[in-house]
Structure 1
């Protein structure tokens, strides 16, 4: 496992399948290039973002817009983001027999005291029997309300997750 991944792997996979991490995205993290479908690669990349495994992110992309992007570049732009929840909205192609695929997803995140939602339509390409992320069209919405998972419970004096600007205890709490 890369140095920037916690030595204590999560019990359940962060990608939301409900499977144990080691039987889901963990096996792809240990062996980049083995995700059998575009959706499996997208889920494993999301989990890598959750776990700050930026080496895996860099190894599983061949960006059309920035082919030389390194793990350090990815870390610089994502290290302060806490990924909360993933929902896969749509897939087109991207199966084992396909050469291209598209996965549309929504991911909730927290950066500092701000919460938001990333909606993306990701494009994938199979090159020499391995799937790669090649590009994506995305939209980021800030201060979006959503159901918070247990690990992101707010304290009474934290800003409310609804985006009102009030303390949680004086708003939705």
Structure 2
């Protein structure tokens, strides 16, 4: 299990416990579609696959399990999130769209996922319901300036190893 990061992986610059950590500890409480999208990205980054399963009602695969989510995402290290567009999805809305790009690393390969995610509010709770995405492989590895890690620093993934021997 990964250790809890000090800074939230969603890129908000807020402490994790005051940002996506609040939603991870209380699924179903994200007040907007964007907050849910950011918290889902952070959950992917921290391997909190139970949270991913709890916050989606997929049109295409309504019975998707936590194990299936982990099988397809367990080896991916998410490194940077950029929100590019938000349509609706506010506290008084019933639907919303959040477009984003997310950089990732899998083994020695890097890439970027670009997606337009659709969200729907059901009985006061936001859910991810569908998304149109494109994946680009071998993109430049982008690490936010504020989270640059020295080669001999502990790895940010929580493994306890030096960065150069783990994700570096």
User: What TM-score bracket applies, with the shorter chain setting the length?
Assistant: 0.7 to 0.9
How many residues align? The count is: 148
Corresponding residue number in structure 1 for 2:127: 132
Q: CA deviation at 1:25?
A: 0.1
Aligned with residue 43 of structure 1, among 38, 41, 55: 38
Runs of 4+ in structure 1 deviating by more than 6 angstroms, as ranges, are none
8 Å Cα contact 2:37/2:98 also seen in 1: yes
TM-score between both structures, scaled by the size of structure 1 = 0.83
Q: Paired residue for 2:85? A: 90
**1:75 equivalenced with 2:70 (yes/no):** yes
Give the root-mean-square deviation of aligned CA atoms: 1.3
> Which residue of structure 2 lines up, in the alignment, with residue 34 of structure 1?
29
**Does structure 1 residue 9 correspond to structure 2 residue 1?**
no
User: What is the rounded CA distance, in whole Å, between the counterparts of 1:60 and 1:43 in structure 2?
Assistant: 12
Quote the offset at 1:145 in angstroms: 1.6
Report what 1:115 is aligned to: 110
CA contact (8 A) 2:80 2:142 kept: no
- Whether 2:49 is the aligned partner of 1:54: answer yes
Q: 1 CA distance for matches of 2:150 and 2:117?
A: 27
Normalising by structure 2, we get a TM-score of 0.85
Which of 138, 146, 160 is the matching residue for 1:143? 138
User: SS of the residue aligned with 1:133?
Assistant: strand
After superposition, what is the alpha-carbon deviation per residue over 1:90-132, rounded to whole angstroms, capped at 9, x for unaligned? 0000000000000000000000100000000000000010000
Instruction: State the 1:147 CA deviation.
Output: 3.3
Aligned-partner SS, 1:122:
strand
Q: What are structure 1's unaligned runs of at least 5 residues?
A: 154-173
SS of alignment partner, residue 33 of structure 1: coil
Mark the runs of 5 or more structure 2 residues left unpaired by the alignment: 152-168
Distance 1:77 1:39, change over 3 A: same
